[in-house]
């Protein structure tokens, strides 16, 4: 219950910030263009807080925090006195109306740059993207990718850390090839490898993009010594203790942690004889893993312990931190990568290269908000930047109920030299609303299936 409330709280804070940024973009440009703003609202429905500013605008915080709006003086909506018609949105020049509408998404992009600027000023702990394993006969192996290589760029995109690698690789869904530059472990020589993606099958719901290509990141060695025990877990019930080193299970010697994981998962509610070394002595313990049912319906065993993991080598650790001026460039570069990736994903969603089942809704966003907030300010800011970019791009889609739809009508007006008729606009709003509701329904359905 606490986790749900934490996720909800982080989600509402994130949503409130991003809605305020988006609507402020519309508000600020509208005021600069001489349009009178009647109401600036964060949320819909009944107001829980209101204040009328000296500028005559009513500032409102409403009960339903799933959006916001800026209500401008407009003759198409209300009667406007003759002396105030010059302040009405509909009477402004085409370029002014276009600027006001485009300002919302633009504000989201600017916010993303600002958020990443703060992130890079504070610094982001990361590790170099070094390959640990390459599966035989995989796409990576056929391209000549080898363990120990450090990935430098993917199709021209710099990849300083694993987050950049994942983003760049995901952007290649539906493509025919991927060009990777990397440095070899022994010689330090930079090489270029081309991955043939014609047979690539990747499902983001069930696997990681790296693994689907046949690569696994380098990770420090996972030992067989116990470093954590869960209260009331099967391991404690079996009298396991911290620093016990597992050497055998049911008489079979083990030398890798994955062997322990496989044995436990495959024996729910079944006794296992686990030999451990404790204080130099070999002791046989009886471990009966508890059972847990996965979303897929599979029942697995779990024991409630975790191994000791060796520390990362100092040469692999990096801190992505820059000075005030350099951070601006890095933040803009990161935001541009997100923009291009999101546009690619939207395009591939339309063409069918990305499945509709990969759409995420508010529940997934809430989980992401809670998780990143739990990790700290830097990660929460990065999450806000990601969602802000997505919000900006979604609003630019050419659906009449969105900013992109209004811009589409303005583009038609620029060509025909007359506004799109209200009847055509009304039909467009109805169709656009239906499409948007359908997409939201699919996203919510996907969220519930992931619970």
Query: Do 163 and 191 belong together in one domain?
Result: yes
Domain assignment present for 58: no
Query: So what's the pLDDT on residue 386?
Result: 85
- Would 193 be classed as within a structural domain? yes
- 327 occurs within a structural domain: no
Residue 133 within any structural domain of the chain: yes
Per-residue b/e over 174-210, b at no fewer than 16 CB within 10 Å? beeebebbbbeeeeeeeeebebebeebebeeeeeebb
Res 27: pLDDT: 93
Q: Is the pLDDT confidence value at 352 over 80?
A: no
How far apart CA 374 and CA 122 sit, in angstroms, is 17
Whether the per-residue pLDDT at 208 is higher than 90: the answer is: no
Decide which of 307, 330, 364 is a domain's last residue: 307
The pLDDT of residue 116 is: 93
**CA distance linking residue 58 with residue 65, whole number of Å:** 17
Mean pLDDT of the chain: 84
76 token code pair? 């198409």
270 & 213 share domain: no
Q: Are residues 297 and 184 in the same domain?
A: no
The answer as to whether 16 is a domain residue is no
Residues 195 and 316 in one domain: yes
Task: Give the residue numbers spanning the domain of 242.
Answer: 222-307
Q: Which of 276, 292, 320 is the last residue of a domain?
A: 320
- Of 402, 386, 403, give the one whose Cα is nearest residue 436: 402
Residue 245 and residue 265 share a domain: yes
In a domain, 341, yes or no: no
Based on the domain organization, do 267 and 190 belong to the same domain?
no
- With H, G, I as helix, E, B as strand and everything else as coil, classify residue 154: strand
| Dist CA 366 CA 368 (whole Å) | 5
Same domain, yes or no: 208 and 316: yes
**333 catalytic, yes or no?**
no
Which residue among 23, 184, 298, 310 is the active-site one? 23
Q: Tell me which of 328 and 354 has the higher pLDDT.
A: 328
Q: How many domains does the chain have?
A: 2
Task: Let me know: does 123 contact 319? Beta carbons within 8 Å.
Answer: yes
Higher pLDDT, 114 or 156: 114
Is the pLDDT reported for residue 99 higher than 50?
yes
Q: How far, in Å, CA of 100 to CA of 351, rounded?
A: 31
- Whether 144 and 283 share a structural domain: no
Indicate the SS3 state at residue 341.
helix
Q: Can you state the angle between helices 362-375 and 2-32, rounded to 10 degrees?
A: 100
**Do residues 249 and 296 share a domain?**
yes
Q: How many CA atoms lie within 13 A of 124 on its CB side?
A: 24
Q: Which of 277, 307, 337 is the last residue of a domain?
A: 307
Confidence (pLDDT) at 33:
93
pTM for this model (two decimals): 0.78
User: Are 360 and 387 within 8 A, CB to CB?
Assistant: no
Distances (CA, A) of 192 to 60, 147, 149: 56, 15, 11
- pLDDT per residue over 240-299, tens digit each? 999 999 999 999 999 999 899 999 999 999 999 999 999 999 999 999 999 888 766 788
Question: Residue 192: which CATH number?
Answer: 2.30.42.10
210 and 232 both lie in a single domain: no
3-class DSSP assignment, residue 184: coil
Ordered alpha helix ranges (H), 123-177: 139-143, 162-170
The answer to whether residues 289 and 204 belong to one domain is no
Same domain, 316 and 203: yes
- The answer to whether the Cα torsion of 404, 405, 411, 417 is positive or negative is negative
Check residue 362 and give its pLDDT. 47
**Residues 269, 290: Cα–Cα separation, whole Å:** 5
């Amino acid at each position: 219950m606490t986790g749900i409330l934490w996720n909800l709280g982080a989600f509402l804070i994130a949503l409130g910030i991003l809605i305020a940024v988006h609507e402020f973009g519309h508000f600020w440009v509208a005021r600069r263009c001489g349009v009178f703003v009647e109401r600036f609202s964060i949320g819909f429905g009944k107001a829980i807080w209101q204040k009328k500013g000296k500028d005559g605008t009513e500032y409102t915080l409403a009960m339903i925090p799933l959006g916001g709006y800026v209500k401008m003086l407009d003759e198409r909506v209300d009667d406007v006195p003759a002396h105030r018609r010059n302040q009405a949105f509909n009477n402004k020049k085409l370029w002014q109306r276009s600027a006001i509408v485009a300002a919302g998404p633009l504000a989201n992009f600017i916010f993303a740059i600002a958020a990443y600027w703060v992130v890079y000023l504070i610094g982001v702990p990361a590790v170099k993207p070094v390959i640990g394993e390459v599966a035989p006969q995989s796409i990576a192996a056929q391209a000549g990718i080898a363990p120990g290589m450090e990935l430098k760029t993917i199709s021209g995109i710099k990849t300083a850390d694993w987050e950049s690698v994942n983003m760049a690789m995901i952007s290649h869904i539906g493509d025919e090839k991927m060009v990777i530059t990397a440095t070899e472990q022994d010689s330090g020589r930079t090489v270029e490898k081309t991955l043939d993606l014609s047979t690539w099958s990747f499902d983001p719901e069930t696997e990681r993009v790296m693994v689907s290509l046949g690569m696994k990141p380098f990770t420090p060695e996972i030992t067989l010594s116990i470093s954590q025990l869960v209260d009331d877990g099967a391991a404690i019930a079996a009298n396991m203790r911290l620093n016990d080193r597992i050497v055998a299970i049911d008489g079979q010697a083990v030398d890798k942690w994955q062997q322990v994981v496989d044995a436990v998962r495959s024996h729910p509610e079944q006794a296992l004889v686990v030999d451990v070394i404790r204080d130099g002595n070999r002791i046989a313990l009886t471990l009966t893993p508890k059972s847990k049912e996965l979303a897929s319906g599979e029942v697995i065993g779990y024991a409630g312990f975790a191994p000791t993991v060796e520390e990362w080598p100092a040469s692999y650790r990096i801190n992505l931190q820059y000075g005030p001026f350099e951070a601006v460039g890095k933040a803009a570069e990161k935001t541009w990568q997100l923009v291009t990736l999101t546009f690619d994903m939207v395009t591939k969603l339309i063409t069918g290269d990305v499945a509709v089942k990969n759409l995420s809704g508010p529940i997934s966003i809430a989980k992401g908000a809670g998780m990143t907030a739990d990790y700290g300010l830097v990660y929460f800011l990065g999450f806000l930047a990601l969602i802000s970019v997505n919000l900006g791009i979604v609003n630019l889609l050419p659906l009449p109920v969105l900013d992109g739809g209004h811009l589409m009508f303005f583009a038609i007006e620029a060509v025909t030299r007359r506004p799109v008729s209200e009847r055509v606009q009304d039909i467009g709003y109805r169709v656009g609303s239906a499409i948007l509701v359908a997409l939201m329904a699919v996203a919510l359905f996907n969220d519930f299936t992931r619970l």
